[in-house]
Amino acid sequence: METRESGEGKVVLRPRDVQKLLGIGRNQAYHLFRRPDFPAKRLGRSWLISRAAFERWLEQRDAIDH
């Protein structure tokens, strides 16, 4: 069952989606979106990241941490 609240099934994620997926706070999510190594884009006043780019970034972080 798709739960839009958690970002599941979405092609594009916003900070609140990443916040819920990672279990982090709102400020941490926005800080993450502003990092140069995080592949997010700004569209007007909104921050967006494709789910595929987010998953690649997450896999790369996992590989670095191990």
Tens of pLDDT, residue by residue over 41-53, are 999 999 999 999 9
* Token duo for residue 12: 């594009």
CATH class of the domain defined by 11-65: mainly alpha
Q: What type of residue sits at position 66?
A: H
Tens of pLDDT, residue by residue over 2-56, are 445 556 689 999 999 999 999 999 999 999 999 999 999 999 999 999 999 999 9
